[in-house]
Amino acid sequence: MDSIVVTGNGPLNGQIEIAGAKNACLTLMPATLLTEEPLTLTNAPRLSDIRTMTVLLQSLGAEVSALQDGKVLAMSSHDIHNHTAEYDIVRKMRASILVLGPMLARDGHAIVSLPGGCAIGARPVDLHLKALEALGAELELKDGYVHAKAPGGRLVGGTIDFPFVSVGATENALLAAVLAKGTTVINNAAREPEIVDLVECLRKMGAQIEGEGRSTITVQGVDRLNGATHPVVADRIELGTYMLAPAICGGEVELLGGSMDLIGAFVEKLEATGVSVEATPNGVLVSRKNGRVQAVDVTTEPFPGFPTDLQAQMMALLCTAEGTSVLEEKIFENRFMHAPELMRMGAQIDVSGGTAKVTGVEKLKGAPVMATDLRASVSLILAGLAAEGETRVSRVYHLDRGYEKVVRKLSGVGAQIERVKEG
């Protein structure tokens, strides 16, 4: 199993290219199941989660080819001969549940394993299932699998009222409603940029959708969808993560391909710490020239609020701030597992329920630490970049799920970082 070894060595300077969004790509890929014509995604990220979705779609009969070193995904679902998404693949990645809506919409039946538990919280899929029931689906849970049928072979439009915002459930609802008969209204829909990206792609495929980016989305079902080519939106979480690198180490780094509109709430908090952020013709320029950053309070919320997927990384920065910051996690109940690891590096953090109080220290100290989930793993790397001495982050397979070429991207701006084989 590989580890990442980071040695803190001062300011970072240069440019980092931002990849296409993992979370957008994972919801765009199942859209191939909605049409017999080819769907091609460009600007795809090269990540293990994308490979898992590829294997899942292939297991159903879809053709998926990674071209141009994986940056282009050429997909075709003219022959879907298997309608069961097996546990062995689904358990690896919760987003696998996103094949349920489109398979059911296309052929009127589907069997999908329930995703297992996840380290950052219980994360049930009840809202996904309720949304499909609102479109007429009949569901039965048997032996860990959801058996879904559309009576008469086709879903029918309906009203979906989400009790709270769920990104995945909104995506599954959209992927099902586009081929349902009649009109679907989704209330309390997620407004994330990845939802907007999915709608833009579905529209190119011939879907009739209005309201993306707002909390009510209306879908007019159509009889068939066509193929399309669509570029995956930039990864706002990768963008925010790398914006934190010069913030925590000092220096000046330009992020190429990202836009501040994707993470307004995060930019506001970063600026409040004293870091300078400005838009450039090619992306975003972040610099910290002198002094320590200042403490700031952060509460995670659905978009357009501060993203939960940047909470761990922001905590790494605040560990080095002047003063005490309060971080409130409102999306996932168990998402402070990085805190004890950061404390091994000398951070002062007091976690109580969904709140973490972070009192900044002047300097973190390198230590062996363990990645517990995807975002936690990169927060430990950021902390290591700013620490005195060597930090060894183990269990980096979490990192490979969501960050491509981390070592190359960070060493390109002057970080001392390498991947080493262990054991």
Alpha helix (H) ranges present in 135-235? 167-177, 193-204
Give 51's contacts (C-beta < 8 A, 6+ positions apart). none
Our CB check for ligand UD1 shows the closer of 26 and 202 to be 26
Q: Do β-strands 368-370 and 390-394 pair in parallel, antiparallel, or remain unpaired?
A: parallel
**Residue in the structure block whose two tokens are 């997620």:** 190
Shortest spacing between CB 162 and ligand UD1, in angstroms: 9
The contact set with ligand UD1 (CB under 6 A) reads 23, 26, 94-95, 121-128, 166-169, 308-309, 331-332
CA distance 334 to 356: 12
Nearest alpha-carbon partner for 222 in 29, 10, 34 = 34
Shortest spacing between CB 189 and ligand UD1, in angstroms: 11
Our CB check for ligand UD1 shows the closer of 92 and 288 to be 92
Q: Is 201 one of the catalytic residues?
A: no
Our CB check for ligand UD1 shows the closer of 132 and 383 to be 132
Shortest spacing between CB 305 and ligand UD1, in angstroms: 10
Shortest spacing between CB 97 and ligand UD1, in angstroms: 8
Q: From the candidates 25, 118, 201, 319, which is the catalytic residue?
A: 118
70: tokens are 């994986």
**Is the bond leading into 304 cis (omega within 30 degrees of zero)?**
yes
Our CB check for ligand UD1 shows the closer of 70 and 354 to be 354
Shortest spacing between CB 171 and ligand UD1, in angstroms: 7
CA distance 342 to 372: 12
Our CB check for ligand UD1 shows the closer of 146 and 417 to be 146
374: tokens are 């995807």
Q: Output the residue with the shortest Cβ distance to ligand UD1.
A: 168
Shortest spacing between CB 385 and ligand UD1, in angstroms: 23
Our CB check for ligand UD1 shows the closer of 114 and 253 to be 114
Our CB check for ligand UD1 shows the closer of 126 and 388 to be 126
Q: Which helix H or strand E contains 288, and what residues bound it?
A: strand 283-288
Helices (H) and strands (E) in the chain, counts: 14, 24
Shortest spacing between CB 145 and ligand UD1, in angstroms: 16
291: tokens are 């002094």
CA angle 42, 43, 49 (to 5 degrees): 100
Shortest spacing between CB 25 and ligand UD1, in angstroms: 9
Query: What's CA 169's distance to the chain center, in Å?
Result: 14
Largest CA distance in the chain: 67
Please, what sign has the CA dihedral across residues 211, 215, 221, 225? positive
152: tokens are 């008469």
Q: Do β-strands 138-142 and 39-42 pair in parallel, antiparallel, or remain unpaired?
A: unpaired
148: tokens are 């879904």
Q: Do β-strands 145-149 and 109-113 pair in parallel, antiparallel, or remain unpaired?
A: antiparallel
CA distance 35 to 122: 33
Our CB check for ligand UD1 shows the closer of 212 and 254 to be 212
SS3 89: helix
SS3 74: strand
CB burial readout 290-308, b (16+ within 10 A) else e: eebbebbebbbebbebbbb
Active site residues: 118
